Homo-oligomer: A and B are copies of this chain.
Amino acid sequence: MNSQSVPIELQERSYGIAIGSALFDDPHSYAQLPGASHVLIVTNTTVAPLYAKRLERALHSKFAAIHTVVLPDGEEYKTWQTLNQIFDALLGNHCDRKTIVFALGGGVVGDMAGFAAASYMRGVPFVQVPTTLLAQVDSSVGGKTGINHPLGKNMIGAFYQPLKVVCDLETLKTLPSRELSAGLAEVIKYGPIADLDFFQWLERNIDALLAREPLALAYAVRRCCEIKAWVVAQDEREAGLRAILNFGHTFGHAIEAGLGYGEWLHGEAVGCGMVMAMKLSHRLGLVDAAYVQRVTVLIEKAGLPVLGPCLATSDNAGRYLELMQIDKKAQDGEIRFVLIDGTGRAFVRAAPEALVREVIDAGCLRL
């Protein structure tokens, strides 16, 4: 399979996403990068033993000094303390303004390495080498970087675009099944919000994706990146349209925050959140029950939970609502949801609290 490239058009911040196999450890993938005397690879304890040495070798022909910082693995480490390990490595190795930061890992590594690159000396160049499906289809487009705060997920960060993204499908071979499923949640997302053809393709190809067939994965990654690029190009800083990419995330963030970050994977919470958002869209008369059912079945086939956890013994829905109030889409204290109508189109609006409560009450596991 040849590699493909998806261009991301953002004026002077434009870049390309290379998608294919045997890319991340090929020096040619990095030949066009600017020169630098130092580069820093940011990775984690799970990914480092698999891929760090191979990336280091690929970079050696171009860069003189290659440093690697290995972070603990997990969403619960997406904190200032871990971010500071990156700054310590940058400063301890006398990295300068031309130093390129490479993110080798999943979404958490990408978010933290990206925010460190955005903030170190007020901005140094940044390259993404996402090794999970979630990171390949989600964080490789859009430039969102950041860390969590005890009171809210991704509350501290920056919009910061990479110079290049290298999506190597080979790295998905070592991905645990649970993480593959979590990544599929964000893949599925692009169907209902923007592309019914892609949704139907997913219904037909979900087994191939679960079997990690390279051609199916390549098509899914490319199509997701294209859709996301189309959305982001129209709204880089999330003033409007871009918020539709948060389909399932309002409910999902409540699940993640309520259980404690890291308990459910982000994609698992989003998968379940999409089911809730579909049900809410249905109660608002926007989609029929059969469509809700199709989306739910696809999410379940992908190996994702479709019922939410119970977050409080009394007034579980109230607890969800409380947690959703600190969502970034909230305005003037009003919770806003990404809702779907029947035409493969999404929009953001508030919903009557009673309906939201019904959806949560009907969509959660009982204690």
Contact A149 B87 (CB under 8 A): yes
Q: Which of B91, B151, B159, B331 contacts A151 (CB 8 A)?
A: B91
Question: Would A118 and B158 be within 8 Å (CB), given that A94-B325, A326-B94, A330-B96 are in contact?
Answer: yes
A84 within 8 A of B: yes
The size class of the interface chain A forms with chain B is: 35 or more
Min Cβ gap A343→B in Å is 28
A146 within 8 A of B: yes
Complex-state Cα separation, A80 to B80, whole angstroms: 8
Interface of A is mostly: mixed
In the complex, which residues of chain B have a beta carbon less than 8 angstroms from the beta carbon of A123? 158-159, 237
Question: Would A158 and B122 be within 8 Å (CB), given that A151-B91, A151-B92 are in contact?
Answer: yes
Per-residue 0/1 for A115-136: is the Cβ within 8 Å of any B Cβ (1 yes, 0 no)? 0001111110000000000000
In the complex, which residues of chain B have a beta carbon less than 8 angstroms from the beta carbon of A301? none
Contact B91 A152 (CB under 8 A): yes
A204 within 8 A of B: no
A53 within 8 A of B: no
Q: Which of B121, B158, B331 contacts A96 (CB 8 A)?
A: B331
Complex-state Cα separation, A333 to B122, whole angstroms: 19
Q: Which of B96, B155, B333 contacts A332 (CB 8 A)?
A: B96
A57 within 8 A of B: no
A156 within 8 A of B: yes
Give residues of chain A (57-92) contacting chain B, Cβ–Cβ below 8 Å. Answer: 80, 84, 87-88, 91-92
A345 within 8 A of B: no
Min Cβ gap A242→B in Å is 11
Contact B122 A146 (CB under 8 A): yes
In the complex, which residues of chain B have a beta carbon less than 8 angstroms from the beta carbon of A159? 122-123
Contact A157 B122 (CB under 8 A): yes
A97 within 8 A of B: yes
A98 within 8 A of B: yes
Complex-state Cα separation, A157 to B119, whole angstroms: 5
Which A residues have a C-beta under 8 Å from some C-beta of B?
A: 37, 80, 84, 87-88, 91-92, 94, 96-98, 118-123, 144-146, 149, 151-152, 155-159, 237-238, 325-326, 328, 330-333
- 4 A-B pairs besides A91-B326, A118-B158, A122-B159 with CB distance below 8 A are A88-B151, A97-B328, A120-B156, A122-B146
